[in-house]
Amino acid sequence: MAPEGEAPGTPEPGDGPDDLRSASAWPPGRVVVVTATYRERATIAALCRHVLAVDPALQLLVVDDDSPDGTADAVREIARDQPRLHLHVRRGRRGLGSAIVEGFRAAHRHGFHVAVNMDADGSHDPDDIPRLLAALEPVGGVPAAVALGSRRVPGGRTVGWPLSRHVASALVNWFTRWVVWLPVHDASTGFRAVRLETFAALGGAFEPGYAFQEDLLLHIHRAGGRIVEVPITFTNRTEGQSKAGLRQSLEGIAALLRMAVRARMPSRP
Ligand SMILES: Nc1nc2c(ncn2[C@@H]2O[C@H](COP(=O)(O)OP(=O)(O)OP(=O)(O)O)[C@@H](O)[C@H]2O)c(=O)[nH]1
Ligand SMILES: [Mg+2]
Protein backbone atom coordinates (compact mmCIF):
# COMPACT_ATOMS: atom_id res chain seq x y z
CA MET A 1 0.00 0.00 0.00
CA ALA A 2 1.36 3.46 -0.79
CA PRO A 3 2.22 5.39 2.34
CA GLU A 4 -0.52 7.94 2.91
CA GLY A 5 0.31 11.60 2.77
CA GLU A 6 3.73 10.91 1.30
CA ALA A 7 5.25 14.11 0.04
CA PRO A 8 5.98 13.91 -3.69
CA GLY A 9 9.66 13.94 -4.48
CA THR A 10 10.81 13.23 -0.91
CA PRO A 11 13.97 11.09 -1.01
CA GLU A 12 13.53 7.59 0.40
CA PRO A 13 16.06 5.22 1.92
CA GLY A 14 18.10 3.80 -0.93
CA ASP A 15 17.68 6.80 -3.19
CA GLY A 16 20.88 8.56 -4.16
CA PRO A 17 21.20 12.12 -2.91
CA ASP A 18 20.45 13.64 -6.29
CA ASP A 19 17.99 11.13 -7.69
CA LEU A 20 14.56 12.12 -8.87
CA ARG A 21 11.66 9.86 -8.27
CA SER A 22 8.07 9.77 -9.36
CA ALA A 23 6.41 13.11 -8.66
CA SER A 24 3.04 11.47 -8.07
CA ALA A 25 1.88 9.24 -5.22
CA TRP A 26 1.51 5.56 -6.14
CA PRO A 27 -2.00 4.10 -6.14
CA PRO A 28 -2.23 0.92 -4.04
CA GLY A 29 -1.43 -2.18 -6.06
CA ARG A 30 -0.21 -5.77 -6.01
CA VAL A 31 1.90 -6.13 -9.16
CA VAL A 32 4.35 -3.60 -10.59
CA VAL A 33 6.41 -4.00 -13.73
CA VAL A 34 9.97 -2.72 -13.30
CA THR A 35 12.00 -1.82 -16.36
CA ALA A 36 15.52 -0.39 -16.35
CA THR A 37 16.39 1.98 -19.16
CA TYR A 38 19.49 3.50 -20.62
CA ARG A 39 19.01 5.32 -23.93
CA GLU A 40 15.70 3.69 -24.85
CA ARG A 41 13.83 6.72 -26.21
CA ALA A 42 12.98 4.83 -29.41
CA THR A 43 11.02 2.13 -27.60
CA ILE A 44 10.00 3.31 -24.12
CA ALA A 45 6.71 5.03 -25.01
CA ALA A 46 5.34 1.99 -26.83
CA LEU A 47 6.43 -0.25 -23.96
CA CYS A 48 4.71 1.95 -21.35
CA ARG A 49 1.46 2.02 -23.28
CA HIS A 50 1.51 -1.71 -23.98
CA VAL A 51 2.28 -2.74 -20.38
CA LEU A 52 -0.42 -0.50 -18.91
CA ALA A 53 -2.96 -1.83 -21.41
CA VAL A 54 -2.36 -5.48 -20.47
CA ASP A 55 -4.27 -5.17 -17.20
CA PRO A 56 -5.76 -2.09 -15.48
CA ALA A 57 -4.36 -3.37 -12.17
CA LEU A 58 -0.75 -3.28 -13.39
CA GLN A 59 1.59 -0.41 -12.56
CA LEU A 60 4.92 0.34 -14.18
CA LEU A 61 8.13 1.77 -12.76
CA VAL A 62 10.85 2.94 -15.14
CA VAL A 63 14.32 3.26 -13.58
CA ASP A 64 16.33 5.41 -15.94
CA ASP A 65 20.01 6.30 -15.53
CA ASP A 66 19.54 9.85 -16.80
CA SER A 67 19.72 8.72 -20.43
CA PRO A 68 21.15 11.50 -22.59
CA ASP A 69 18.57 10.76 -25.32
CA GLY A 70 15.66 11.97 -23.19
CA THR A 71 14.14 8.59 -22.31
CA ALA A 72 12.89 10.05 -19.02
CA ASP A 73 11.12 12.90 -20.81
CA ALA A 74 9.19 10.41 -22.92
CA VAL A 75 8.08 8.64 -19.73
CA ARG A 76 7.15 11.91 -18.00
CA GLU A 77 5.00 12.86 -20.98
CA ILE A 78 2.87 9.73 -20.58
CA ALA A 79 2.93 9.81 -16.77
CA ARG A 80 1.36 13.26 -16.76
CA ASP A 81 -2.09 11.72 -17.10
CA GLN A 82 -1.29 8.11 -16.19
CA PRO A 83 -1.11 7.58 -12.40
CA ARG A 84 -0.04 3.94 -12.85
CA LEU A 85 3.28 5.00 -14.43
CA HIS A 86 6.23 5.92 -12.20
CA LEU A 87 9.67 7.20 -13.02
CA HIS A 88 12.86 7.03 -11.02
CA VAL A 89 15.82 8.85 -12.56
CA ARG A 90 19.30 8.19 -11.25
CA ARG A 91 22.35 10.34 -11.93
CA GLY A 92 24.79 8.62 -14.26
CA ARG A 93 24.87 5.10 -15.65
CA ARG A 94 25.07 2.74 -12.67
CA GLY A 95 24.29 -0.65 -14.16
CA LEU A 96 21.31 -2.79 -15.05
CA GLY A 97 21.35 -4.85 -11.85
CA SER A 98 21.56 -1.91 -9.51
CA ALA A 99 18.66 -0.24 -11.36
CA ILE A 100 16.50 -3.34 -10.97
CA VAL A 101 17.38 -3.66 -7.28
CA GLU A 102 16.37 -0.03 -6.69
CA GLY A 103 13.14 -0.66 -8.55
CA PHE A 104 12.33 -3.79 -6.55
CA ARG A 105 13.13 -2.03 -3.25
CA ALA A 106 10.89 0.91 -4.16
CA ALA A 107 8.11 -1.51 -5.14
CA HIS A 108 8.44 -3.36 -1.85
CA ARG A 109 8.37 -0.10 0.14
CA HIS A 110 5.17 0.82 -1.68
CA GLY A 111 3.54 -2.43 -0.57
CA PHE A 112 3.58 -4.37 -3.85
CA HIS A 113 3.71 -8.18 -3.66
CA VAL A 114 5.20 -8.99 -7.05
CA ALA A 115 7.59 -7.21 -9.42
CA VAL A 116 7.79 -8.18 -13.07
CA ASN A 117 11.16 -7.28 -14.52
CA MET A 118 11.47 -6.80 -18.28
CA ASP A 119 13.71 -5.05 -20.78
CA ALA A 120 12.55 -1.83 -22.42
CA ASP A 121 13.73 -2.62 -25.94
CA GLY A 122 10.77 -4.60 -27.25
CA SER A 123 12.42 -8.01 -26.79
CA HIS A 124 9.89 -9.08 -24.17
CA ASP A 125 6.18 -9.15 -24.96
CA PRO A 126 4.01 -7.55 -22.24
CA ASP A 127 1.19 -9.92 -23.26
CA ASP A 128 3.21 -12.70 -21.58
CA ILE A 129 2.98 -11.02 -18.15
CA PRO A 130 -0.26 -12.80 -17.07
CA ARG A 131 1.34 -16.22 -17.76
CA LEU A 132 4.35 -15.30 -15.62
CA LEU A 133 2.08 -14.19 -12.79
CA ALA A 134 0.00 -17.35 -13.02
CA ALA A 135 3.17 -19.45 -12.76
CA LEU A 136 3.91 -17.97 -9.32
CA GLU A 137 0.80 -19.65 -7.91
CA PRO A 138 1.35 -22.48 -5.42
CA VAL A 139 1.90 -26.05 -6.56
CA GLY A 140 1.41 -28.58 -3.76
CA GLY A 141 1.01 -25.64 -1.38
CA VAL A 142 4.37 -24.08 -2.32
CA PRO A 143 4.30 -20.84 -4.31
CA ALA A 144 7.14 -20.11 -6.73
CA ALA A 145 9.60 -17.41 -5.67
CA VAL A 146 10.28 -16.46 -9.27
CA ALA A 147 8.78 -17.29 -12.66
CA LEU A 148 11.24 -16.95 -15.55
CA GLY A 149 10.26 -16.09 -19.09
CA SER A 150 12.41 -18.79 -20.65
CA ARG A 151 13.74 -19.12 -24.19
CA ARG A 152 15.26 -22.49 -23.40
CA VAL A 153 12.34 -24.72 -22.44
CA PRO A 154 9.99 -26.45 -24.91
CA GLY A 155 7.83 -23.80 -26.56
CA GLY A 156 10.34 -21.01 -25.89
CA ARG A 157 12.38 -19.43 -28.67
CA THR A 158 14.58 -16.54 -29.74
CA VAL A 159 13.87 -14.63 -32.93
CA GLY A 160 16.38 -12.51 -34.85
CA TRP A 161 19.65 -13.25 -33.09
CA PRO A 162 22.87 -13.71 -35.07
CA LEU A 163 24.73 -16.99 -34.48
CA SER A 164 27.25 -15.22 -32.19
CA ARG A 165 24.48 -14.30 -29.70
CA HIS A 166 23.12 -17.87 -29.69
CA VAL A 167 26.61 -19.18 -28.95
CA ALA A 168 27.26 -16.62 -26.17
CA SER A 169 23.89 -17.32 -24.57
CA ALA A 170 24.38 -21.09 -24.75
CA LEU A 171 27.80 -20.76 -23.06
CA VAL A 172 26.46 -18.54 -20.27
CA ASN A 173 23.56 -20.87 -19.63
CA TRP A 174 25.80 -23.97 -19.74
CA PHE A 175 28.08 -22.34 -17.16
CA THR A 176 25.27 -21.29 -14.84
CA ARG A 177 23.70 -24.75 -14.98
CA TRP A 178 26.74 -26.98 -14.66
CA VAL A 179 29.32 -24.81 -12.87
CA VAL A 180 27.20 -22.42 -10.78
CA TRP A 181 24.74 -25.32 -10.22
CA LEU A 182 21.61 -23.34 -10.92
CA PRO A 183 18.91 -25.80 -11.95
CA VAL A 184 17.41 -23.60 -14.68
CA HIS A 185 17.63 -23.51 -18.47
CA ASP A 186 17.55 -19.75 -19.03
CA ALA A 187 19.24 -18.05 -16.09
CA SER A 188 20.12 -14.93 -18.08
CA THR A 189 16.59 -14.04 -19.11
CA GLY A 190 15.63 -10.49 -18.19
CA PHE A 191 11.89 -11.26 -18.14
CA ARG A 192 10.69 -12.62 -14.81
CA ALA A 193 8.08 -12.24 -12.09
CA VAL A 194 9.56 -12.09 -8.59
CA ARG A 195 7.86 -12.33 -5.21
CA LEU A 196 9.00 -9.22 -3.37
CA GLU A 197 8.70 -10.82 0.06
CA THR A 198 11.28 -13.40 -1.05
CA PHE A 199 13.46 -10.72 -2.61
CA ALA A 200 13.38 -8.55 0.53
CA ALA A 201 14.31 -11.52 2.72
CA LEU A 202 17.43 -12.26 0.66
CA GLY A 203 19.34 -9.21 1.88
CA GLY A 204 22.98 -9.14 0.86
CA ALA A 205 24.64 -7.51 -2.10
CA PHE A 206 23.86 -8.37 -5.72
CA GLU A 207 26.01 -8.10 -8.81
CA PRO A 208 25.32 -4.55 -10.09
CA GLY A 209 25.56 -5.23 -13.82
CA TYR A 210 23.98 -7.67 -16.29
CA ALA A 211 24.98 -10.67 -14.14
CA PHE A 212 22.38 -9.56 -11.61
CA GLN A 213 19.94 -11.80 -13.45
CA GLU A 214 21.89 -14.98 -12.71
CA ASP A 215 22.93 -13.71 -9.28
CA LEU A 216 19.35 -13.14 -8.13
CA LEU A 217 18.54 -16.73 -9.06
CA LEU A 218 21.58 -18.00 -7.18
CA HIS A 219 20.45 -16.12 -4.06
CA ILE A 220 16.90 -17.46 -4.40
CA HIS A 221 18.00 -21.04 -5.09
CA ARG A 222 20.39 -21.10 -2.13
CA ALA A 223 17.62 -19.73 0.10
CA GLY A 224 15.40 -22.65 -0.97
CA GLY A 225 13.07 -20.66 -3.25
CA ARG A 226 11.20 -22.46 -6.04
CA ILE A 227 12.09 -21.28 -9.58
CA VAL A 228 9.76 -22.04 -12.49
CA GLU A 229 10.25 -21.47 -16.21
CA VAL A 230 7.53 -20.36 -18.61
CA PRO A 231 8.21 -20.52 -22.36
CA ILE A 232 8.40 -17.15 -24.11
CA THR A 233 9.34 -15.87 -27.53
CA PHE A 234 12.19 -13.37 -27.25
CA THR A 235 12.58 -11.02 -30.21
CA ASN A 236 15.90 -9.30 -30.83
CA ARG A 237 15.62 -5.55 -30.59
CA THR A 238 14.81 -3.82 -33.86
CA GLU A 239 15.16 -0.25 -32.54
CA GLY A 240 17.78 1.49 -30.45
CA GLN A 241 21.18 0.01 -29.72
CA SER A 242 22.43 -2.71 -27.43
CA LYS A 243 23.81 -1.41 -24.14
CA ALA A 244 25.70 -4.62 -23.49
CA GLY A 245 29.17 -3.75 -24.81
CA LEU A 246 32.56 -5.40 -24.35
CA ARG A 247 32.96 -3.90 -20.88
CA GLN A 248 29.60 -5.28 -19.73
CA SER A 249 30.47 -8.70 -21.20
CA LEU A 250 33.83 -8.84 -19.37
CA GLU A 251 32.19 -7.72 -16.13
CA GLY A 252 29.59 -10.43 -16.65
CA ILE A 253 32.25 -13.14 -17.06
CA ALA A 254 34.03 -11.99 -13.88
CA ALA A 255 30.71 -12.00 -12.01
CA LEU A 256 29.90 -15.55 -13.17
CA LEU A 257 33.29 -16.73 -11.88
CA ARG A 258 32.58 -15.11 -8.49
CA MET A 259 29.20 -16.87 -8.45
CA ALA A 260 30.83 -20.22 -9.18
CA VAL A 261 32.99 -19.72 -6.07
CA ARG A 262 30.01 -18.66 -3.97
CA ALA A 263 28.02 -21.70 -5.11
CA ARG A 264 30.69 -23.86 -3.44
CA MET A 265 30.52 -22.07 -0.11
CA PRO A 266 28.08 -23.18 2.59
CA SER A 267 24.67 -21.44 2.52
CA ARG A 268 23.76 -19.15 5.35
CA PRO A 269 21.50 -20.93 7.88
N1 LIG B 1 18.99 1.96 -15.74
C2 LIG B 1 19.85 1.24 -16.52
N3 LIG B 1 19.36 0.42 -17.48
C4 LIG B 1 20.24 -0.26 -18.25
C5 LIG B 1 21.64 -0.18 -18.07
N6 LIG B 1 22.24 -0.99 -18.98
C7 LIG B 1 21.24 -1.55 -19.70
N8 LIG B 1 20.03 -1.11 -19.28
C9 LIG B 1 18.71 -1.52 -19.76
O10 LIG B 1 18.66 -2.91 -19.57
C11 LIG B 1 17.87 -3.53 -20.57
C12 LIG B 1 18.69 -4.60 -21.29
O13 LIG B 1 19.73 -3.98 -22.03
P14 LIG B 1 20.03 -4.34 -23.55
O15 LIG B 1 20.95 -3.33 -24.14
O16 LIG B 1 18.76 -4.57 -24.27
O17 LIG B 1 20.85 -5.65 -23.37
P18 LIG B 1 20.62 -7.02 -24.03
O19 LIG B 1 19.15 -7.32 -24.03
O20 LIG B 1 21.53 -7.97 -23.36
O21 LIG B 1 21.18 -6.78 -25.49
P22 LIG B 1 20.39 -6.33 -26.84
O23 LIG B 1 18.99 -6.76 -26.71
O24 LIG B 1 21.14 -6.96 -27.93
O25 LIG B 1 20.45 -4.86 -26.92
C26 LIG B 1 17.42 -2.41 -21.50
O27 LIG B 1 16.13 -2.00 -21.12
C28 LIG B 1 18.46 -1.32 -21.23
O29 LIG B 1 18.01 -0.02 -21.52
C30 LIG B 1 22.13 0.69 -17.03
O31 LIG B 1 23.33 0.84 -16.80
N32 LIG B 1 21.20 1.36 -16.28
MG1 LIG C 1 17.83 -6.24 -25.10
CA 50, CA 45: separation in Å to the nearest integer? 9
Residue 13 belongs to some domain of the structure: no
Residue 104 lies in a domain: yes
What is the CA 200 to chain-centroid distance, rounded?
A: 15
**Residue 49 falls within a domain, yes or no?**
yes
Closest by Cα among 150, 107, 113 to 128:
150
Count structural domains, the chain. Answer: 1
Mean pLDDT of the region 113-117? 98
CATH classification at residue 141: 3.90.550.10
Answer whether residue 7 is part of any domain: no
Q: Give the pLDDT of residue 32.
A: 98
- Quote the ligand 1 centre to 107 CA distance (angstroms): 20
Q: Does the beta carbon of 96 lie inside 6 Å of ligand 1?
A: yes
What is the number of other CB atoms lying within 10 angstroms of the CB of residue 185?
18
Does this model's pTM top 0.85? yes
Q: What is the domain extent for residue 179?
A: 31-263
> Is residue 20, in this structure, part of any structural domain at all?
no
Given the CA of residue 71, which atom of ligand 1 is nearest to it? 29
Whether 194 and 146 have beta carbons less than 8 Å apart is answered as yes
In this structure, is residue 14 part of a structural domain?
Answer: no
Query: Nearest ligand to the C-alpha of residue 241?
Result: 1
Distance from residue 32's CA to the centre of ligand 2 (Å): 20
Burial 221-245 (b: 16+ CB within 10 A, else e): bbeebbbbbbbbebbebeebeebee
123 lines ligand 1 (CB under 6 A): yes
- Local confidence band at 195 (pLDDT 50, 70, 90 cut-offs): very high
pLDDT of residue 23: 63
Q: Tell me the ligand closest to 94's alpha carbon.
A: 1
Question: What distance in angstroms lies between residue 96's CA and the mean position of ligand 1's atoms?
Answer: 6
CA dihedral 77, 78, 80, 83 (to 10 degrees): -150
Q: 96 with 212: CB under 8 angstroms?
A: yes
What confidence tens digit (pLDDT) does each residue in 35-89 have? 999 999 999 999 999 999 999 999 999 999 999 999 999 999 999 999 999 999 9
Pocket test for ligand 1, best of 38, 63, 248 (most atoms within 8 A of CB): 38
- From ligand 2's centre to the CA of 141, what distance in Å? 35
Cβ neighbours of residue 172 closer than 8 Å, sequence gap 6 or more: 187, 188, 214, 252, 256
Q: Catalogue the E-assigned strands of 57-199.
A: 59-64, 85-89, 114-117, 146-150, 157-159, 192-195
What is the whole-number distance in angstroms between the Cα of residue 140 and the centre of ligand 1?
Answer: 36
- Residue 2 has a pLDDT of 33
> Which mutation among 100, 119, 207, 246 tests ligand 1's pocket best, with the greatest number of atoms within 8 A of CB?
119
CA 195/CA 202 separation, integer angstroms: 11
In the structure, what pLDDT confidence band is assigned to residue 9 with cuts at 50, 70 and 90? Answer: very low
Residue 23 CA to ligand 2 center (angstroms) comes to 28
Whether ligand 1 lies within 6 angstroms of the CB of 93 is answered as yes
Distance CA 163, CA 156 (A): 17
Amino acid at 66: D
Specify the residue with its C-alpha closest to ligand 1, atom 5.
Answer: 96
Q: Is 215 in the pocket of ligand 1 (CB under 6 A)?
A: no
In a domain, 5, yes or no: no
- Cβ–ligand 1 contact at 36 (below 6 Å): yes
pLDDT digit string (tens) for 133-168?
999 999 999 999 999 999 999 999 999 999 999 999
Name the residue among 22, 26, 21, 23 with its Cα closest to residue 1.
Answer: 26
Higher pLDDT, residue 20 or 16: 20
Q: Is the pLDDT of residue 18 over 70?
A: no
Number of C-beta neighbours around residue 219 at 10 A: 21
12 part of a folded domain: no
**Pocket flag, ligand 1, residue 243 (CB < 6 Å):** yes
With residue 54 as reference, give the H or E element that holds it: helix 41-54
**At what angle are helices 212-222 and 96-109 packed, to 10 degrees?**
50
What sign does the CA torsion over 170, 207, 130, 198 have? positive
